[in-house]
């Protein structure tokens, strides 16, 4: 039996989108391949509210995170972390020999504009990474206020992880002046895992040109230049299957209407939050609670593993807490094509199990 997924990725994929993954292959050096990549880019620009170039990477989101910090850090990166995925960016820097400092917030708390200001004022950094939506703690960072601070430092490249929030909540890349905004397919975009997407600014491209060891496969400059020189092609063979499905799913997303989609996500988030507050507690402060997943503090001390096992027997799956938050918290995702009705059905089952 397929379990309905309320985990923060991979998400359930609509059957017609899954079918597009089975589209017969085309040559990756054909006009059709260029047209496919161009079509995806134009639609992604709408979802991301940007005129900047869109890059695709046949990797999961982590690929472009690694590519960004390695390709565009000239001196030193300031990595702000509010949980597991922020920390990952620091681990990537270290693994690639990129100089970086980690600025961590307490679990459940956001990155504050003050923290960013204090770090950037030292003049030591030329790249900053922010997690928009931290999938471990369920914190959505105050990105507008943070972006305002970063704008005061025109030499600093701003890299933003929107892996678990893009297409589920409004992120206006150009207005925030994000230089590299990264997402991947298996979360709020509603596709199978395996493709990552980012927007990239001229500033980030110019920064990359000053970095000599950008790696090879995840070199953002190479991805960018290939699009310019070869009319929307990809340096190696991309996952054309994902591209067929993404192009199709983006039509669906734009037909739903971005504002409607964001509203649907917000309504689901509010519903889960109020349920959580009735039975448990929210893990983050409500003002910083994510619109695409809710991390709930296990104040009743239930066995989350056991709950999930019982949910599994009823055809549902949620997530335990991440890493050190396992059993102390649990997570319910409400992203991509999930509806309020789906969520109500899930929460009814949980109510019935824990009563």
Residues that bind ligand PLP (CB under 6 A): 8-9, 60-62, 85, 131, 133-135, 161, 163-164, 184
Between 240-256 and 31-48, two packed helices, what is the crossing angle to 10 degrees? 40
Q: Given the complex with ligand PLP, which of 33 and 173 has the nearer CB atom?
A: 173
Report the nearest approach of ligand PLP to the CB of residue 64 (Å). Answer: 9
Q: Is 215 helix (H, G, I), strand (E, B) or coil?
A: coil
- Pairing between strand 77-81 and 127-131? parallel
In the complex, the smallest distance separating the C-beta of residue 24 from ligand PLP, rounded to whole angstroms, is: 27
Instruction: Quote the Cα angle for 93-283-193, to 5°.
Output: 50
Q: Is residue 94 within 8 Å of residue 108, measured between CB atoms? A: no
Nearer to ligand PLP, 161 or 349 (CB): 161
| CA separation, residue 135 to residues 71, 163, 188, 295, 342 (Å) | 25, 9, 12, 8, 20
| Contact in structure between 266 and 291 (CB atoms under 8 Å) | yes
Output 33 or 334, the one with its CB closest to ligand PLP: 334
Q: Between 57 and 298, whose beta carbon lies closer to ligand PLP? A: 57
Residue 80 Cβ vs ligand PLP, minimum distance, rounded to whole Å: 13
Nearest distance from residue 84's CB to ligand PLP, in Å? 8
Distance (Å) of CA 257 to CA 25, 46, 100, 250, 263: 30, 11, 39, 10, 10
Instruction: Choose between 33 and 71: whose C-beta lies nearer to ligand PLP.
Output: 71
Nearer to ligand PLP, 113 or 138 (CB): 138
Helices (H), 196-291: 202-209, 220-229, 240-256, 258-279
Kindly state the smallest distance separating residue 134's Cβ from ligand PLP, in Å.
6
Burial of 311-348, coded b for 16+ CB within 10 Å and e otherwise, reads beeeebbbbbbbeebeebbbbbbbbbbbeeebbeebbe
Compute the CA torsion angle 196, 201, 206, 208 (nearest 10 deg). Answer: -20
Q: Name the residue with tokens 């079918």.
A: 19
In the complex, the smallest distance separating the C-beta of residue 164 from ligand PLP, rounded to whole angstroms, is 3
Q: Which C-beta is closer to ligand PLP: that of 92 or that of 204? A: 92
Q: How far is the CB of 188 from ligand PLP (least distance, A)?
A: 10
């Amino acid at each position: 039996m397929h379990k309905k997924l309320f985990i923060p990725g991979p998400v359930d994929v609509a059957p017609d989108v899954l079918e597009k993954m089975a589209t017969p292959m085309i040559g990756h050096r054909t006009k059709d391949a260029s047209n496919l990549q161009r079509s995806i880019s134009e639609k992604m620009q709408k979802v991301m509210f940007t005129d900047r170039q869109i890059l695709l990477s046949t990797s999961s989101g982590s690929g472009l995170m690694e590519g960004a910090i390695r390709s565009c850090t000239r001196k030193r990166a300031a990595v702000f972390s509010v949980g597991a995925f922020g920390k990952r960016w620091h681990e990537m820097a270290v693994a690639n020999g990129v100089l970086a400092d980690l600025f961590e917030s307490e679990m459940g708390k956001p990155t504050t504009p003050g923290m960013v200001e204090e770090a950037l004022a030292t003049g030591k950094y030329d790249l900053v990474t922010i997690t928009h939506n931290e999938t471990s703690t369920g914190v959505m960072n105050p990105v507008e206020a943070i972006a305002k601070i970063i704008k005061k430092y025109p030499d600093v490249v701003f890299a933003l992880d929107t892996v678990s929030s893009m297409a589920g909540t409004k992120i206006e890349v150009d207005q925030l002046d994000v230089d590299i905004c990264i997402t991947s397919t298996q979360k709020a975009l509603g596709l199978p895992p395996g493709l990552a997407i980012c927007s990239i600014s001229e500033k980030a491209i110019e920064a990359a040109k000053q970095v000599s060891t950008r790696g090879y496969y995840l070199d953002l400059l190479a991805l960018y230049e290939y699009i310019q020189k070869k009319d929307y092609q990809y340096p190696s063979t991309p996952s054309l299957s994902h591209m067929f499905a993404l192009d199709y799913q983006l039509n669906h997303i734009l037909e739903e209407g971005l504002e409607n989609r964001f509203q649907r996500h917000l309504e689901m988030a509010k519903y889960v939050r109020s349920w959580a507050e009735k039975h448990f507690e929210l893990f983050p402060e409500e003002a910083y609670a994510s619109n695409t997943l809710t991390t709930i503090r296990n104040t009743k001390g239930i066995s989350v593993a056991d709950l999930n096992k019982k949910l599994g027997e009823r055809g549902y799956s949620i997530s335990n807490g991440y890493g050190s938050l396992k059993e102390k918290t649990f997570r319910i995702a409400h992203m991509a094509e999930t509806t309020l009705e789906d969520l109500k059905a899930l929460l009814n089952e949980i109510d019935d199990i824990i009563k």
